[in-house]
Structure 1
Amino acid sequence: MKNNSNNLKVFGPNSLSKYLFYIFRAISIGFLLFIIYIDLSFLLSNVEIINARYYISLPILGVVAKGDYQTNVIVTITLSMLYGTIFFYVLSNIFKAFVSETVFTESAIKHLRYFSFLNLLVGPLLYLVTHFFIMQHSDYRGIHNPILNIIFGVTALFIVHIFKKGYAIQSDNDLTI
C-alpha cells in the first residue's frame, strides 16, 4: 500500500483545521465590519430612504443593503449579525485549537463549551427576544433557527464530554511515558 504524504490532514499544522480557522475567522470579521458599516450609515445619515425603506450602498461589494426603515428591524438585524459574528468567532477558535499536534486540549474543550453555551442558550434566547419582543410577531416563523441552535449545542455538548475523556486518557498516557 502506497503512503501518499500529500493527503490533507484533519488536525495539526497545515491541516483542514487550519484552513477552516482562517475561513471562519474571516467570516466573523466580515460580519463585524458589515454591522459597523450599516450602523454607522444609520448614525451618520448615509442612507437613502424611499417609501419607508432604507438603501445603503456597500461600495466594496457593489451591492445595496435594503430593508424596512423601522427601529425594530434595524435592531433585529444588528443583534442577529452580532450573534453571527460571535458564532463564527467561537467556531474559528475551535478549529484554531485543532491546529495543535495534540487534539485533546483544554483549549479545545473550553471553546467547544463556549460553542455549546452559545447555541443552547444565546441563540434560542435571541430568537425569543427579537421575534416576540422586538419584532412583536405572534407566530413561530423562523422556529427552525433555534431548533438548529439546540441541535448544534447538544452535539457540541456531547463532543465536549468526548474531548474531556480523550484529554484524561491523553494526560494519563503522557504521565505513563
Structure 2
Amino acid sequence: MKIIGKNSLSQYISYLLFVLFIIIAFNLVYEIIGHGILFYKYKTGSSILSDTFVLANDVGWSKNKWTIPMENLLKFKINYPFSDIQMVTGVYAPNQIIHNILGMIFLSLFFFFSYRCFKEMSADQIFNQNAIKWLKRFCFLNLIIGAAGIFEFFYFKMNSVYTLLTYFFFAFFGIIILFIVEFFKKGLALQTENDLTI
C-alpha cells in the first residue's frame, strides 16, 4: 500500500482523524452546554438534570491525600448524556472551567488540522499550496500551545515534570512541522519548475 497519494495510507489516516475530530468537537460543544447548565444551577439553585450535571461539595470523588484537602470546595461533574459515564469533573472555579474548555478547543483544532494535512497528502500532487497552508496552521497551533503551556507551567509554579514534558513535546513537534513546511515549499518549487520545463 502506498503511503501518500490516492488510495494510500495517508487517505485512511485522514478518515480516522476526521472521526476523532467529530468526537472531540461533540465533547467540546457538550462541555460548553454542560458548563452553561452548571452556571444556571449555581446562580438559581435549580436541580435541573441533577444526574447528568452535578454541582455539589461531594460529586463522588474517592477520599485520598489529594481530594481530602478539597472536601469543602464546590465541585462539578458532567456525565455523558443518558449514562453514568463521567466526561469531566473538577473544582467549580472559573480558571478550571476555562482551562478545560481551552484544552478541548486545542484538541479539536489539533485533530482537524492534522486531518486536513493528511487529506492534502492523499491528493494526486502532494506538493501544493493547500498542503503548505494546513501544515503551517498545524505548526503554529503546536508552537502556540507549547509556548503557552511552558509559560503557564513556570508562571503558576507547577510541579509536574510530565506536564512540562508534554508542553515541550508540542513545541518540538511544531518545530519539526516547520521544517516539513520548508520541504513542501522546496518540493512545490521543483514541481512547478519541472512542469514549466515540460
Q: State the TM-score bracket (shorter-chain normalisation).
A: 0.7 to 0.9
Aligned to 2:75: 53
Task: Give 2:193's match in structure 1, choosing from 162, 165, 172.
Answer: 172
The structure number with the bigger radius of gyration is 2
- Rounded to whole Å, the distance in 1 between the matches of 2:29 and 2:152 is 19
Structure 1's consecutive aligned runs of 4 or more residues displaced over 6 angstroms after TM superposition are: none
CA displacement at 1:38 relative to structure 2:
1.4
CA displacement at 1:40 relative to structure 2:
0.6
Aligned to 2:65: none
Please report the TM-score for the alignment, with normalisation by the length of structure 1.
Answer: 0.84
Aligned to 2:11: 18
Aligned to 2:32: 39
Instruction: For residue 100 of structure 1, give the secondary structure of its aligned residue in structure 2.
Output: coil
Aligned to 1:64: 86
Give the aligned length.
166
| Alignment check: 8 A CA contact 1:76 1:130 kept | no
CA displacement at 1:61 relative to structure 2:
7.2
| Cα 1:129–1:33 shift into 2, 3 Å | farther
CA displacement at 1:163 relative to structure 2:
1.0
| Alignment check: 8 A CA contact 1:112 1:160 kept | yes
Q: What amino acid sits opposite 1:147 in the alignment?
A: F
Which structure 1 residue ranges, 5 or more long, are not aligned?
Answer: 1-7
Task: Give 2:167's match in structure 1, choosing from 137, 146, 154.
Answer: 146
Task: Give 1:109's match in structure 2, choosing from 114, 123, 132.
Answer: 132
Task: Give 1:162's match in structure 2, choosing from 166, 176, 183.
Answer: 183
Aligned to 1:3: none
Which structure 2 residue ranges, 5 or more long, are not aligned?
Answer: 39-48, 58-73
| Cα 1:73–1:132 shift into 2, 3 Å | farther
**What RMSD in Å do the two structures reach over aligned CA positions?**
2.0
Could you give the per-residue CA deviations for residues 63-109 of structure 1, whole angstroms, max 9, x where no partner exists?
A: 11222222211110000110111111111110110111111111111
| Alignment check: 8 A CA contact 2:150 2:164 kept | no
Task: Give 1:84's match in structure 2, choosing from 97, 107, 112.
Answer: 107
